[in-house]
Structure 1
Amino acid sequence: MRDVYQSFQELSQCERAGIDYEIECVIRRREIVVLAIHGGTMEIGTEEVAEKIAEKLNATVYVFKTLKTENPFELHVTSANYDEEMARHLVKKSAVTISLHGAYSDVCTTYIGGRDEKLEKAVRHALSGFPISETPVHLKGVSPRNIANDNQRHKGLQLEITTPQYEQLLQNNELFNEYVNAVVSAVNSVM
C-alpha cells in the first residue's frame, strides 16, 4: 500500500495533532534513541516494546502515536521519509538507534535489519530463544535515508516484529520482559 503522505511535514499539514496523532518523547541518555514512528493504533505493540527497552537502557524514547481508529495506516510515513524535526534531531545526536516496527504476517517472528551489523548480530544472538526469520528485502531497513540509520555512525537497528509476535508479547508479561531484556543485554554488550 502506498503512503498517503510522503513526509511528516505533509502529514502535519492535513492531520490534527492531539486528535489524529500525538508525539511522545522522554529524554534520557541521548546517545541511545529508541523509536516507534508507527505507534498507537497503526502498528500495535511497537510503542510498548520501544518504551520498555528505552526505560531499561535509560535511553531516549520517541513515539509517534496514531490516534485514529478508522484507517490508522493513512498516517503511515515510511522510515526513509520520516522527517519530523525532533525525531531527526534526536537521532542525529545519537550513536545508537533502535527502531521498532510492526510487520504483517501470520507467522510469529521477528525480522532484524538496519545497517548496524554488530548490533544486529548481538540482538540476533540474544533473541535466540524467540523465532527469528530471514528478513525480506523490503523490511531490511538499510537505506541511508532510513531514520534509524541517520545517527552519528550512519547505522542503526530496525526490528520488524510480526503481529502474532506482538500479540504473544503483549499477552504474556514474562515473555514480554524476556524479549525486552534480550534486546537490552545485546545493546549493552556492544556499548
Structure 2
Amino acid sequence: MAFADLAAEKTQGVDYDFLVLDRASAVAIVAPHGGWIEHGTSELATAVAGDDFSLYLFEGLKPKRPHSELHIPSEYFDQNRCADLVSRARIVIGMHGRADGDDPETIWLGGLGKELRDAIAAALEAAGFKAITSGHRLPGEHKNNICNRGINQAGVQLELPKSLRDALVANPQRRALFSKAVRKAISDHLAKQGAA
C-alpha cells in the first residue's frame, strides 16, 4: 500500500493528518506511524527533534482504536511532503513502535547508517535503556525504508516496545533522558563528519 491508496479511502483531518516542520536541518526525525497508529512515536520524535532538527509526523487521529489500515510499511511510505523533507536531510531517524512480545523494554535499532545506529545504541545504554542493533526481526535495511532515503541513503530506525513508549510518554524526565541520549549521538556523529 502506498499513500495514494490510503488517501483514496481515508479523510485527512478526520482519520489522519500530518505535521511537517522543515527547519532546514541536516537531520530529519520522522514518525510515519504516529498519533494512534503506533502510540507514543509522535511524542518521542518531537522530543528528539527539539527546536532544531526537522520533524515529520503522520498521525492516526481516532484514539483508542487499531489503526492497521493507516500503517504504510516504511519501505512504501511515500507521502510527498515526507519524501521531500527526508531527501534534503543528511541523517534521517525513523521513530517506530513495536509490540512488546516477550521483551517490553529493549529498543531495537536498525537502518543502513550502522555507525550512527551503534552510537545511538551506546548512548541509550549509557542513559539506562536497553538497546540492541542485531538479532531482531526489524533491521530497517531495505534501501527504500524511509530512514534510508536521505542524502547519505543510510539512516537509523528505532523500534520501541509499547510498554516503554507508554512509560516515556507518561514520564517527562525519562523522555528527556531518552531524547538527550539520541540527540547527543546524532550531534557527535555530525561533528565527526564536519557538518555541525
TM bucket, shorter chain: over 0.9
Tell me, in whole angstroms, the C-alpha distance in 2 between the residues paired with 1:149 and 1:105: 25
| Of 15, 30, 33, the match for 2:10 | 15
| Of 52, 57, 81, the match for 1:63 | 57
Tell me, in whole angstroms, the C-alpha distance in 2 between the residues paired with 1:150 and 1:181: 24
Equivalent residues of 1:46, 1:102 under 8 A apart = yes
Q: Secondary structure at the match of 1:61?
A: strand
If the length of structure 1 is used for normalisation, what is the TM-score?
0.92
Q: Secondary structure at the match of 1:74?
A: helix
1:112 and 2:109 are equivalent in the alignment: yes
Equivalent residues of 1:30, 1:90 under 8 A apart = no
Aligned to 1:186: 185
Q: Secondary structure at the match of 2:25?
A: strand
1:85 and 2:75 are equivalent in the alignment: no
Aligned to 1:141: 140
Aligned to 1:42: 37
Equivalent residues of 1:39, 1:47 under 8 A apart = yes
Aligned to 1:99: 94
If the length of structure 2 is used for normalisation, what is the TM-score?
0.90
1:25 and 2:20 are equivalent in the alignment: yes
Tell me, in whole angstroms, the C-alpha distance in 2 between the residues paired with 1:87 and 1:143: 17
Question: How far does the alpha carbon of each residue in 1:82-121 deviate from its partner, in whole angstroms, 9 at most, with x for none?
Answer: 0111111111111000000001014212001101011111
**Range with greater deviation from structure 2 (164-173 or 119-128):** 164-173
Question: How far does the alpha carbon of each residue in 1:132-161 deviate from its partner, in whole angstroms, 9 at most, with x for none?
Answer: 245455311000010110111110010000
Aligned to 2:46: 51
Aligned to 1:126: 123
Tell me, in whole angstroms, the C-alpha distance in 2 between the residues paired with 1:154 and 1:117: 11
Point out where structure 1 has 5 or more consecutive residues left out of the alignment.
Answer: 1-5
Point out where structure 2 has 5 or more consecutive residues left out of the alignment.
Answer: 191-196
Tell me, in whole angstroms, the C-alpha distance in 2 between the residues paired with 1:136 and 1:92: 29
Calculate percent identity across the aligned residue pairs: 29
Tell me, in whole angstroms, the C-alpha distance in 1 between the residues paired with 2:134 and 2:34: 21
| Cα displacement (A) at 1:27 | 1.4
Matches within 5 A, 1:143-162: 143-162=142-161
Tell me, in whole angstroms, the C-alpha distance in 2 between the residues paired with 1:109 and 1:15: 33
Q: Secondary structure at the match of 2:50?
A: helix
Letter in 1 for 2:66: N
Closer, same or farther: CA 137–110 of 1 in aligned 2, 3 Å: closer
Question: How far does the alpha carbon of each residue in 1:52-75 deviate from its partner, in whole angstroms, 9 at most, with x for none?
Answer: 11115x011000010134331211
Letter in 2 for 1:85: N
Q: CA RMSD in A?
A: 1.3
